[in-house]
Amino acid sequence: MAAAVARESSARLVAYLASMTGDLAAAEVAFGEALLSALTVWAEHAFPIGRSRGC
């Protein structure tokens, strides 16, 4: 499930970060670090199903 979230969101989020910073490489690194952090939290506290979609 986490892999699906990453696939669905990564391009949009990296593009947004790159547009805000002007640095694609930094945007990719930031996304990767944020995803790793989220996966760590989700592993400890359960995956937040449907929160981003208002379910």
Closest to 34 (Cα-Cα) out of 13, 7, 12: 13
Q: What pTM value is reported for the model?
A: 0.67
- The string of pLDDT tens digits covering residues 6-29 is 788 889 999 999 999 999 999 999
pLDDT at 52: 57
